Structure 1
Amino acid sequence: MSADVVCMALGRVPPGAAPDAPGGASGGGDVGWSAGTHYLNIGLQNGVLLRALIDPVTGDLSDTRTRYLGSRPVKLFRVFVQGSEAVLAISSRSWLYYTYQSRFHLTPLSYGSLEFASGFLCLEGIVAISASTLRILSLEKLGTVFNQVTFPLQYTPRRLLLHESGQAVLIETEHNAFTEDSKQQKKRQIAQEMLEQAGADGDRSGDAQLVREMAAAFLSENLPEPVFGAPKPGAGMWASVIRVMRPLTGQTAQIIRLQQNEAALSICLCRFACNPMESYLLVGIVKDMTLAPRSVGGAVLRTYRVVGALERLDFLHETAVEDAPQAMCPF
């Protein structure tokens, strides 16, 4: 074998089998004893998991398959899932290798980074170490194909597109919301009114200095909106952003903030016949829209040029349209 083996362990030997029988070795538990098939699971330093089929007669390895699990060396631990043995593989993220409905599954766990783990002998659960904490995990939703990861956004996502490079671009639009510039402007207005009121009272109040300190503290304070909530300006007020992000990591590559009362409704990636080598993003935007009775103060199609592999968006121009552009499609 050309790579270094990080760990190896002897799997459970079924009743009647010799302890030194071929195929009893596994990097964290033997998968497939009930079917009479023996596999060797090996974790490597480069973050790759190897699974090889062991011949029950000669002990030769065949049908070797590899899977990259993460950037850290792979550690393997034997656990129990639905009464059967499974393998918990830990790298920069954790994976569960198990059988479900007579099929093998290698599924990433929706959990933080782990260091070590061990399964309970009588219960279906895992006790694990993460950093300096001891955690007890329960495995649910076995057999599901998708692994869910949540990334927080500023406003409600309305549309999302995937670029051919794997980058994602989405529009977020919120009704009854302030933009960041409007929030700061409103805070400065409130602080100025506090100072003017203190100046009008003069020495009669004796608290002018205290009011000035309170106004300065109010301007510098930045309360987290997920905890305390966002200020609500009232109906007919809109806030929108255009976000370019990496969907695998959740990192935002670029964020374009629209002006107050501009609402992004639709987006479209396309190529024009006059310049087929470049991609463009079209965003349908309305201005000063009210929901009841429905009316718009204006509507435009804003065009951005896609730079590189959707590394950023460069604004080109906008075109006025008669009504709200609810949807767009290239042809």
Structure 2
Amino acid sequence: MANLQTLEHGTFDSVSRLLVSRISNDLLPHRFLGSRPIRLIPVPVHGSPSILALSSRSWLNYTYQNLLHFTPLISEPLDHAWSFSAELCPEGLIGISGSVLKIFQIPKLGSKLKQDSIPLSFTPRKMAVHPQHRLIYLVESDHRVLGPEEIQKRLSEMEKQGKKVPPGVLDLPPEIFGRPKAEAGKWASCVRILDPVNGTSVFDIALDNNEAAFSIAVVPFVGLNNEYLLAVGTASDTFVAPRSCSHGYIRLYRFAEDGRTIELLHKTEIDDVPLALLAFQGRLLAGVGNALRIYDIGKKKLLRKCENKAFPSAIVTLTTQGSRVLVGDMQESVFYVTYKQSSNRLLIFADDTSPRWITSHTMVDYETFAAGDKFGNVFISRLDRSVSSQVDEDPTGAGILAEKGFLMGAAHKTKLLAIYHVGDVVTSIQKVSMVAGGREILLYTGLHGTIGTLVPLVSKEDVDFITTLEQHLRGENQSLIGRDMLSYRGYYTPVKAVVDGDLCERFALLPPARQSAIAGELDRTVGEILKKLESLRVSSSGF
């Protein structure tokens, strides 16, 4: 049972949701909602009674799947609201925000994120954000698909041969019927600019000559007084397996009209597919096949300044801090590289002990990285701090060159700190802070639409509590197919130092008797366990 109660503190009002404990009937403070004087308004949502709490933010309190939810509304703070029903909006709400009257409805209960879709022409590959204009620059490409230029070329050939195209075939909407298919080695690709605030596409450029875009980066070049340019890595006549291309290119575009359009500056030919680009010390760092290169700006093309071709297969991801670069190899995990400016060298000094098919990675700190592989694993590894300091103190890299390799790799190895099977191919992973003033977490996304977070536990008390709770819940929640949860989360490698938060959240769905039994073994009340779980989730993600 839950109640809403207004609390007055000095000169302002606040609102908290209070939970009635099923064991002691005590009221436990559950969540702080706002600092302005509040209004509690009963409204029906999707046929069930709910409560709108209007304060400095607007919140909706409702029951979904036998759980009580408090969800913030993404809108301006409302001064007053009430239920509203009309022919076009049968289960709506009407509210006042200042001098504005709003009519809205709650589309779906139980969802934690608001999702807006922007239609694209092809599959998005990589994106970059301009630090000043706040626009998103996206590269799209599809294999075995005909581009606009190739379609017109083939239509002209058919007309010369006297063949007729059935009327209306070319006018079919591609989002429903798809685009014209082609043989292997044919690509359709474009570069697009998106306005994320308005959710619109403001500009796009289609690539010709069977070029496909694979990487993108916004780079401030020192040679142009730190002017930002857009670098796009493309390749023509590309085959996926085995990976090959006739020519690779790095296109440089200059921003115009406050970043809403781009103009081609020049195009540099290279010898392989550029799968990763990154800004590095006022120049461009590029992963071209199995080579790591540094390019500087030139009048007619980019100038190669430095290169390392000692990587096993193909470079797919790049991150950097200072003079250190972490290189994600397609088949051999992550390599630590340092750039020595005095000798103009890129030197590999550490790598991973296990070969992994890397899809994305990010630096957690100067010695630690988190990465995902194509088999659905997320892992965190760390380099020894003494090795890191030793490499930074070597001005020329002569000590690194003199070291003997270990296990057919670099001289130093990273240590695996944590690993967890998420069950989806991880397409990106970033270190972010989703709550103002909150702790930083790792946010990852998956190929099937998965969005998940890895939250660090900072106290030993939290670690002991959540680990013990997970052990109890493994026996309570059986898989529909009878699969053991521990073996699933350690599908390829035994799970290490990660707790299954989704499993722990199912504590609220257990029968009251089982909740009381588990709470007794943890020396806590049921209300304290629910409060702790929500506190860990809300303080890190805001949901």
TM-score (norm 2): 0.37
Conserved? CA contact 1:78–1:118, under 8 Å = no
Write the distance in 1 (CA, Å) between the matches of 2:273 and 2:148.
24
How far has the Cα of 1:105 moved from its partner? 3.6
Which residue does the alignment assign to 1:177? 145
Q: Which has the higher helix share?
A: 2
Write the distance in 2 (CA, Å) between the matches of 1:81 and 1:38.
30
Conserved? CA contact 1:155–1:173, under 8 Å = yes
Which residue does the alignment assign to 1:122? none
Question: In the alignment, is residue 79 of structure 1 matched against residue 44 of structure 2?
Answer: yes
Show the 5 A alignment for 1:72-221: 78-80=43-45, 85-87=50-52, 97-99=59-61, 105-108=71-74, 117-118=83-84, 127-128=91-92, 139-142=108-111, 144=112, 146-164=113-131, 165-193=133-161, 196=162, 218=167, 221=170
Structure with larger RCO (C-alpha < 8 A, sep 6+): 1
Write the distance in 2 (CA, Å) between the matches of 1:326 and 1:221.
33
Kindly tell me the number of residue pairs found equivalent between the two proteins. Answer: 230
Write the distance in 2 (CA, Å) between the matches of 1:290 and 1:220.
28
Conserved? CA contact 2:140–2:190, under 8 Å = yes
Write the distance in 2 (CA, Å) between the matches of 1:264 and 1:236.
14
Instruction: Sort the Cα spacing of 1:268 and 1:221 in 2 relative to 1 into closer, same or farther, 3 A.
Output: closer
Show the 5 A alignment for 1:1-331: 34-37=3-6, 53=13, 63-64=35-36, 78-80=43-45, 85-87=50-52, 97-99=59-61, 105-108=71-74, 117-118=83-84, 127-128=91-92, 139-142=108-111, 144=112, 146-164=113-131, 165-193=133-161, 196=162, 218=167, 221-331=170-280
Instruction: Sort the Cα spacing of 1:80 and 1:263 in 2 relative to 1 into closer, same or farther, 3 A.
Output: closer
Q: Which deviations, in whole Å up to 9, do the C-alpha atoms of 1:209-261 show, x marking residues without a partner?
A: xxxxx76x738951111222221111110111000111222322211110142
Conserved? CA contact 2:244–2:273, under 8 Å = no
Write the distance in 1 (CA, Å) between the matches of 2:115 and 2:50.
25
Conserved? CA contact 1:97–1:104, under 8 Å = yes
Unaligned runs of 5+ in 2: 16-33, 76-81, 94-103, 281-543
Write the distance in 1 (CA, Å) between the matches of 2:68 and 2:217.
43
How far has the Cα of 1:77 moved from its partner? 8.2
Write the distance in 1 (CA, Å) between the matches of 2:127 and 2:156.
35
Which has the larger displacement, 281-290 or 218-227?
218-227
How far has the Cα of 1:97 moved from its partner? 2.5
Unaligned runs of 5+ in 1: 1-32, 40-51, 56-61, 67-75, 90-94, 110-115, 120-125, 130-134, 198-213
Write the distance in 2 (CA, Å) between the matches of 1:311 and 1:188.
34
Percent of matched pairs sharing the same residue: 24
Letter in 1 for 2:43: R
Write the distance in 1 (CA, Å) between the matches of 2:107 and 2:243.
50
* Secondary structure, counterpart of 1:181 in structure 2: helix
TM-score (norm 1): 0.58
Write the distance in 1 (CA, Å) between the matches of 2:278 and 2:189.
21
How far has the Cα of 1:86 moved from its partner? 2.4
* Secondary structure, counterpart of 2:197 in structure 1: coil
